[in-house]
């Protein structure tokens, strides 16, 4: 193998490139990234960067010296537009063709958008440029409406409220983050937001964005108008696979892979767009979490080089909202039975365990980092026993 092309130059792509070098690959590595920025950390966009606690330079995943040491070819600020599997070639939007012996797909996801043309003041948050534009707008202390009560929506609502903005969290779900953790944890998250002064509008559909040149509010059922000068649309994301149409790869909810992250001979996928078979859970997963991106990028690179190691991590998610640090391992599927284990030494802290038919499948810590580590060990044992 002489040349590996990695499409996607964020956490998964960077981890893949570093692993290739660490495993002794001495050929050409080409990284293609749609954004003009070198690899940076995305989770702080809605928190530390948005609040002003961090500046953009602190997000860099590696300094320039470390990037140079990879000896890779960087093609930043350019999109890949097609893949010819038979010819082993990726074509870029500038018509450059990149021939490869091995390919790692790590183009991530893109935010879902509302249909139609949006007035100024309506934002999505995926990249650094998005975050900087929103941060600038928050300086004027606008009334903020957040559409979507998942992880991103609740994190942003907490940050905007912490900056002194009037914030309303509008969600179609009955409770925030209920899809991630179920109703019991969702109610606790909702209560913390209410205590901090965030207005919650659950089970509510947004009918229209009001405003011609600049947003003025949201039209809700019953003729109600929710005034807002800044709107964040946080209604989920979709895998960035449009450029792979016609490639012959299976693109059902991402790039479909086997347990080794392989989508086709010599072609692997990693990160948010990879839908792979998890042997521990006995099902297909696609995980949009930062740690998974790095771990899977490394796993894909090792397997491209011939390791044949099944990728079976314990999924990890974290979220900081107000004074609450949420961390979870595993899954919280609908219908799972939730058991709360309070921390006797620290009132207000707890670990929540999720079981399905008696089998431990997930654990969450509410300001309980140490206790969660112990729960993770139990979860790892359960997954190993059932693999």
- Report the pLDDT value the prediction gives residue 344, as an integer from 0 to 100: 65
pLDDT at 228: 99
Instruction: Judge contact between 103 and 4, C-beta under 8 A.
Output: yes
Residue 115: partners with Cβ closer than 8 Å, 6 or more residues away: none
Q: Give pLDDT tens digits for 315-362.
A: 999 999 999 999 999 999 998 999 999 876 677 899 999 999 999 999
Give the pLDDT confidence score for residue 348 in this predicted structure: 83
Kindly write down the DSSP assignment for every residue of 231-243, as one continuous string. Answer: EEE---EEES-GG
50 φ/ψ sector (left φ>0, alpha ψ -120 to 50, else beta): alpha
Q: Are 12 and 108 in contact (CB under 8 A)?
A: yes
Residue 172: what pLDDT?
Answer: 96
Q: What is the pLDDT of residue 34?
A: 98
Listed in sequence order, the residues at least 6 apart from 285 whose beta carbon sits closer than 8 Å to its beta carbon are 275, 276, 278, 315
Which pLDDT does position 230 carry in this prediction? 99
pLDDT at 361: 94
Instruction: Using DSSP bridges, classify how beta strands 208-210 and 217-219 pair: parallel, antiparallel or unpaired.
Output: antiparallel
pLDDT at 76: 98
Quick one: pLDDT at residue 386? Answer: 61
Which CATH entry fits the domain spanning 323-381: 3.40.605.10, 3.90.1200.10, 3.90.850.10, 3.30.390.30? 3.30.390.30
CATH topology of domain 113-233: FAD/NAD(P)-binding domain (3.50.50)
- Domains 3-110+237-305 and 113-233 alike in fold: yes
The full set of domain ranges for the chain reads 3-110+237-305, 113-233, 323-381
What kind and span of H or E run contains 337?
strand 337-342
Please tell us whether the domain made up of 3-110+237-305 is placed in CATH 3.90.180.10.
no
Return the pLDDT at 41.
98
The predicted structure's pLDDT at residue 282: 92
Residue ranges in the chain modelled with pLDDT below 50:
none
Residue 381 is predicted with a pLDDT of 87
- Asked if 133 contacts 123 with a C-beta cutoff of 8 angstroms, the reply is yes
* DSSP assignment of 119-167: PBTEE--SSHHHHHHHHHHHTT---EEEE--SHHHHHHHHHHHHTT--E
The CA distance from 5 to 13, in Å, is 10
Do 145 and 168 touch, CB atoms closer than 8 A?
yes
How wide is the angle at C-alpha 272 spanned by C-alphas 268 and 276, nearest 5°? 50
Beta strands across the sheet bearing 217-219 = 208-210, 217-219, 225-227
Cβ proximity of 232 and 124 under 8 Å: yes
């Amino acid at each position: 193998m002489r040349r590996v092309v990695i499409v996607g130059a964020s956490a998964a792509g960077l981890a893949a490139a570093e692993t290739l070098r660490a495993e002794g690959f001495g050929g050409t590595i080409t990284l293609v990234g749609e954004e003009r920025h070198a690899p940076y950390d995305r989770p702080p966009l809605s928190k530390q960067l948005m609040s002003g606690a961090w500046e953009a330079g602190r997000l860099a995943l590696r300094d320039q010296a470390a990037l140079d040491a990879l000896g890779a070819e960087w093609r930043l600020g350019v999109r890949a537009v097609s893949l010819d599997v038979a010819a082993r070639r990726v074509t870029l939007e500038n018509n450059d063709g990149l021939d490869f012996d091995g390919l790692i797909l790590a183009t991530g996801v893109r935010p879902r958008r509302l249909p139609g043309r949006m007035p100024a003041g309506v934002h999505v948050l995926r990249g650094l440029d998005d975050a900087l534009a929103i941060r600038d707008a928050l300086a004027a202390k606008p009334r903020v409406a957040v559409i979507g009560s998942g992880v991103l929506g609740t994190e942003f609502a907490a940050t905007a409220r912490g900056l002194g903005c009037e914030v309303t969290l509008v969600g179609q779900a009955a409770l925030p983050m209920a899809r991630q953790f179920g109703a019991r944890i969702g109610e606790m998250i909702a209560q913390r937001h209410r205590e901090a002064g965030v207005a919650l509008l659950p089970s509510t559909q947004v009918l229209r964005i009001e405003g011609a040149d600049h947003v003025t509010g949201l039209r809700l059922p019953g003729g109600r108008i929710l005034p807002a000068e800044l709107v964040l649309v946080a209604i989920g994301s979709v895998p960035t696979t449009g450029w792979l149409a016609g490639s012959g790869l299976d693109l059902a909810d991402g790039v479909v892979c086997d347990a080794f992250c392989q989508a086709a001979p010599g072609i692997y996928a990693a990160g948010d767009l990879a839908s792979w078979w998890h042997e521990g859970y006995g099902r297909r997963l696609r995980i949009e979490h930062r740690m998974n991106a790095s771990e899977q990028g490394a796993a894909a690179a090792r397997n491209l080089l011939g390791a044949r190691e099944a990728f079976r991590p314990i999924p990890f998610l974290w979220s900081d909202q107000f004074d609450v640090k949420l961390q979870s391992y595993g899954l919280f599927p609908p219908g799972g039975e939730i058991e709360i284990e309070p921390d006797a030494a620290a009132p207000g802290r707890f670990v929540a365990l999720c079981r399905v038919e008696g089998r431990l499948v997930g654990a969450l810590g509410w300001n309980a980092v140490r206790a969660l580590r112990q729960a993770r060990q139990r979860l790892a044992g359960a997954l190993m026993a059932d693999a």
